[in-house]
Amino acid sequence: MARDYAARCPVYPVRNAWLVAVAVLLAAQEIGAPKVQVAEELEAYPTESVELSCQFNDGGGLTKLTQVSWIWEPSDGHRDNIAVYHPVYGQSFPNVAFKDRVVFLHNSLENPSIRISNLRMSDAGRYTCEYATYPTGNEQGTTTLIMLSKPKNSANGVTVQAGTKSVVVARCEAADAKPAATIEWLAPVGGNHSTSTTSGPDGTVTVRSEYRLVPTPADNGREVICRVNQKTQKQPWVYPIKLSVEYLPSVSIEGYDHNWYVGRSDATLVCLANANPEPTTITWTAASGPLPETVVVEGNKLTVRKVDDAVNTTFICEVKNRLGSSRHQITTVVIAEQNTGRTCRE
């Protein structure tokens, strides 16, 4: 009899083992898969809107959904309901901070996705879509909302005086950014910089950087560049700054050719000055006393109409600006006859 049964109902162990393995695998996948499906992370900007998706996935169809809630957990850890949906009692939005800013996109327990409008920096945090179900109890999924803020960038130079101490000559700021910006300096003038950060109550960060050097007259007009890098910028923000260094006049006299002979006409000296701020006055004097009668002064130019022994003296040019004055002098020697050979020049 056993032989007859075996002949009528043969057993295929390999095929049966494969079916069992598939069944176990499907069951394991169903058990391991989250029932509440949400996005892990979203990024958004203030004043914009964001949609938080949520769907309940019950492959066996055995779970009874009772109610769904959206729970907001900001960075301080305080949890609060912001939206509740019940198939009988309808919708509720208990958090005043989200009043008129949050809506359900679908009137459905299976898909209770929401939209939050007019976003604020303070809306950042964890948003949990939580179901009350039977018979398994609560099921949930969490989305982290990251609020981003573009930096308000600015930079400026600081007018300084030439000296021997290191001072701030330029500043750069990236204000109210999230995440924090980084500031770099591109400068060929050999200074250094310091950076500080300040956190705002809404999670933004303001970064300030100061560029310092020991300023010299040669640094006036040179350029340093502030570069701000931050995630929300498509490319770095770059701002060139021209340095403003003030200094006393640097004075020199040109024009004397060592050939001031008696009777020569229109011998000229020119007083040159380099200063910041610009010179306010240029004054010619003579070491021997008042300027000779044959001398005419026009601005920075001194002209001897007719050379004689009276201009055998030292001429002094004094230049003043707002910071003070500097002077330069030259001694002119009157010779009896014109030097027709090669002249010597200072």
Which pLDDT tens digit goes with each residue over 252-294? 999 999 999 999 999 999 999 999 999 999 999 999 899 999 9
Q: What is the CATH number of domain 36-147?
A: 2.60.40.10
Of 309, 304, 186, 183, give the one whose Cα is nearest residue 241: 186
Q: Spell out the domain ranges in the chain.
A: 36-147, 152-243, 248-331
Give strand ranges (E) for 78-230.
80-86, 90-92, 102-104, 114-116, 125-134, 139-147, 152-157, 160-161, 167-177, 182-186, 192-199, 205-213, 223-229
Q: Choose which CATH entry (2.60.40.10, 3.40.50.720, 3.50.50.60, 3.30.360.10) describes domain 152-243.
A: 2.60.40.10
∠ CA 330-332-335, nearest 5°, is 165
Identify whether the C-beta of residue 304 lies closer than 8 Å to the C-beta of residue 311: yes
Q: The pTM is what?
A: 0.75
Beta bridge partners of 224: 241
> Tens place of pLDDT for every residue, the chain, 346 residues?
444 444 444 443 433 333 333 333 333 334 445 689 999 999 999 999 999 999 998 766 788 999 999 999 997 778 999 999 999 999 999 999 998 999 999 988 989 999 999 999 999 999 999 999 998 889 999 999 999 999 999 999 999 999 999 999 999 999 999 999 999 999 888 899 999 999 998 889 999 999 999 999 999 999 999 999 999 999 999 999 999 999 999 999 999 999 999 999 999 999 999 999 999 999 999 998 999 999 999 999 999 999 999 999 999 999 999 999 999 999 999 999 888 765 444 4
The token pair at 119 is 């976003």
How many residues would you count in the chain?
A: 346
Alpha-carbon Rg for the chain, nearest whole angstrom, is: 43
As a whole number of angstroms, the distance between CA 128 and CA 105 comes to: 16
Q: What is the CATH number of domain 248-331?
A: 2.60.40.10
As a whole number of angstroms, the distance between CA 196 and CA 209 comes to: 6
